Amino acid sequence: MQGASDNRTARPERLIFHCDVNSAFLSWEATYRIHHLGETTDLRTIPAVVGGDESARHGIVLATSIPAKKFGVRTAMSLVEARRLCPNLTVVPGNYKLYVECSNALLDILHDVCPLVEQYSIDEAFLDMTEIAAAQRDPVAFANALRERIRDELGFTVNIGVSVNKLLAKMASDFTKPDRVHTLWPGEIPAKMWPLPVRDLFFIGHATERKLHSLGIRTIGEVANTPESVLRSALKQHGTTVYNFANGIDPSPVIDSPPPNKGYGNSTTVNHDVTDAAEAKQVLLRLCDSVGTRLRADDVRISVISVGIRTFDLHYYSHQAVLENPTNITRELHEHACRLFDAAWDRTPIRSLGVHTSRVSPDAPARQLSMFDTADYERLEKIDRAVDAIRKRFGKESVTRASLLPEKGASHADDGS
């Protein structure tokens, strides 16, 4: 059995698993090609990558095999640079529909063993195993059984991190790969986590790493032993988060929420890094326009909206809000999206933006009006529907919002959710 050294019999107050697919896109491609296309070469055993469109901004490495990593090929590297490092590199195009199917198959298994599963990304999920594993004497053995079931039934491998909270479980799953189970109990933090470089701590990007280096802080242990006041002075509110994470503190619950594709969403990658808030909000307007059109076409409204931001260094974060009134009006969606953007953006250059919605209601209740709100929402919705009708008859570009003329740099990639 592969696993960490600590197979405790004493049960913790909380027991959290983090399940992470090893080189997800490449593993899913390899599994599909072997079992469905009859190919004999396993992409995981040769220098190979899944790559985007080289003629556009998407010409980057999306996933790498372990043999490719030995040549220095890394995720987010341009394919041109990857081929320079590894001339015999095999490059296969991405197949997002396949990846969604594989992700759903994984979630089916996770839900089969645990009712409380939080999908963190297309290839990651948290499981609150506190109640499920109550009858289990060895949580590591339980995790290994789950790991083996995924490998045997689906053909690809995962790492599973085991701990008392989401942060430590996620850190544990990033230890030695592939096809492993690792623990990171609070008592193991000094030996297993503190010697790691600060960039390995969850939620630390390049900008934060540079600031910490300027303070002479290079390991997670040095972060943990730096006064919180010093970190707050250098990193503002983010300093508290970094301090807590370095000390293994994370009270956040596992939330069994529906995956993003249960709602309506759209995202776009820009062909230059966006550093201006006004330009970012123009991109958000186009995304909200697209989402609003689809909502109105299905005669539904949404009550939850989130804005996702992926920075130039591929760090992703999002901000979400619950609306007082369900809506499908483009202007209202955009206003909420802009407020979320202003609250979330830390001024790091932006590579892509997304708008996602959920809590869909086919028959929304009557709008709760405010004496301070003078907008004529009925008129706004009628205008939106009139624009939808014109576009349906004469094409999407027949009517364009004035604020989007001209727009530079947006290359749309509807996520189909």
* Alpha-carbon dihedral sign for residues 29, 30, 32, 33: positive
Asked if 221 and 198 count as a contact pair (C-beta separation under 8 A), the reply is no
In terms of phi and psi (left: phi > 0; alpha: psi -120 to 50; beta: otherwise), the region of 409 is: left
Distances (CA, A) of 198 to 72, 76, 360: 21, 20, 40
Give the end-to-end CA distance of the chain in Å, rounded to a whole number: 39
Residue 69 CB contacts under 8 Å (≥ 6 apart), including other chains: none
CB atoms within 10 A of CB 196: 15
For residue 290 the two structure tokens come to 């697209």
Is residue 324 part of the annotated active site? The answer reads no
At which residue do the structure tokens 């591929």 appear? 314
Tokens of 1: 């059995």
The residue annotated as part of the active site, out of 29, 124, 188, 381, is 124
> Residue 176 phi/psi, 5° resolution?
-45, 130
Phi, psi (5° rounding) for residue 271? -90, 10
Q: Which residues does the annotation mark as catalytic?
A: 124
